[in-house]
Amino acid sequence: MLKVENINSILISYSSISKCNSKLVCSLNKIFKPVLTSKDDNENLKKLAFQYAPIAMKIFNQIIKTLSDINNDISSNKKRKIKFIDLSEDSTDNPTKKRRNNNNKINDEIINDDLDFVQNYTNEKISLIESSKITLKVLERLETYLNVKPIDIDLAHSNLITKLIEVQMIESAEIQLKHLYDRIKLRYFENKINDLYDEILELHKDILEIPVIDNAEDITKISQLIITTQLNSMKCLSCQNKLDFLFNGKNITMYKWCEYIRNKDKLLSEKLYSNICRVLLKLISEKYKDRNPVTAFNIQYLALEAMSRTSGFTISWYIDAVLKYGYSVEQKTKNNFGNY
């Protein structure tokens, strides 16, 4: 019998970054052992769903929140300012002197460029990833008897992948992408999508080319799931500097999904287009501006294509943006050639 105090203790532990460790994963495995080892008996699974599904959902949601906390903490630590200690110039205990700027004013704070002090939370992230696998496995095993639909579990899974990318656990994100993609194929496409991929690039290619389906149940949620999965795929590729291969073909279906949903939910379609534009410009093209200006321009053009299909689009804005990006790639290209 599950004890409420044990569950509350687990939840509290997952809400504290420092307590996320291998022991916590073992405790979680022990709690969900009846589900993970149970036989495929409908009545038994139904009883287990009543007992364990709400707990798995709560823990999974807390894992997502804690991953966000880790990302926020790492980001803030990188920007942390270190105060200089106010020491007199003739101090014999510490010869460090105050730094002064050109105006002869005391510069009382500096930005620490050495990021070695920034904690990366590797062990904590690993324990959270392993814990998320357990809770997802529990939810997938019991999904037939849950109050939520399978599409909602898949959307939560997609959210997890987004968080893994944010904390730079790209390999784990790609493993989860493959698992989610397999579920998408089986559940929404009756496994008709080609899955002959030998390399991770082929997996990303297949994800980005998921075809639009018609007359599906929960099509709005499915559209959100597919587009979010495709954006996560792009983020993974960007983190590994492999985004260039996107422009070798014209089969990316992200915009086709947006257009399909436009006839059913115009507001959602615009929201999806805006999100695509935001991700492409802020999370991807910034990385390529100096490294590969041409790729950056191609990504920016994709973003403009998304923005051009929203209500906030104007011709003058579009022309200004194209000229701005075109001028930028021209200057960067000249500078790159000038270095040879």
Looking at the DSSP bridge assignments, the partners of residue 110 are 82
Residue 21 falls inside a structural domain: yes
Listed in sequence order, the residues at least 6 apart from 5 whose beta carbon sits closer than 8 Å to its beta carbon are none
* Structure-block tokens of residue 169: 């656990």
pLDDT at 93 over 50: no
Structure confidence at residue 191 (pLDDT): 58
Residue 194 falls inside a structural domain: no
Tens of pLDDT along 223-265?
899 999 999 998 888 887 777 766 665 688 998 999 888 888 8
Structure confidence at residue 95 (pLDDT): 44
Q: Which amino acid is residue 241, in one-letter code?
A: N
How sure is the predictor about 219, in pLDDT bands with cuts at 50, 70 and 90?
A: confident
Nearest to 131 by CA among 61, 195, 215, 51: 61
Q: What is the distance, to the nearest Å, from the Cα of residue 92 to the centroid of all Cα atoms in its chain?
A: 52
* Structure-block tokens of residue 56: 């798995």
Nearest to 82 by CA among 121, 120, 115: 115
Tell me, what DSSP letter sits at residue 40? S
Residue 183 falls inside a structural domain: no
Determine phi and psi for 83, rounding to 5 degrees: -75, 140
Instruction: Find the domain containing 57 and state its range.
Output: 1-69+122-147
- Mean pLDDT, the chain, rounded, equals 79
pLDDT at 98 over 50: no
Tens of pLDDT along 116-173?
444 678 899 999 999 999 999 999 999 989 888 889 999 999 999 999 999 989 999 9
Q: How far apart are CA 107 and CA 84, in angstroms?
A: 8
Structure confidence at residue 110 (pLDDT): 32
Residue 299 falls inside a structural domain: no
How sure is the predictor about 78, in pLDDT bands with cuts at 50, 70 and 90?
A: low
Residue 142 falls inside a structural domain: yes
Structure confidence at residue 89 (pLDDT): 41
pLDDT at 326 over 60: yes
- Count the domains in the chain: 1
Place of tokens 């501006």: 289
With beta carbons less than 8 A apart as the criterion, state whether 262 and 211 touch. no
Average the pLDDT over each of 163-167, 268-272, 281-285 and give the range with the smallest value: 281-285
Residue 261 falls inside a structural domain: no
**pTM, full prediction:** 0.77
- Mean pLDDT of the region 56-69: 94
Task: Select the more confidently predicted residue: 92 or 215.
Answer: 215
Average the pLDDT over each of 36-50, 186-200, 239-253 and give the range with the smallest value: 186-200
Residue 109 falls inside a structural domain: no
pLDDT at 9 over 70: yes
How sure is the predictor about 330, in pLDDT bands with cuts at 50, 70 and 90?
A: confident
pLDDT > 70 fraction of the chain, expressed in percent and rounded:
75
Q: What is the DSSP string of 264-291?
A: T-HHHHHHHHHHHHHIIIIIIIHHHTTT
Task: Select the more confidently predicted residue: 234 or 115.
Answer: 234
Task: Select the more confidently predicted residue: 77 or 140.
Answer: 140
Residue 231 falls inside a structural domain: no
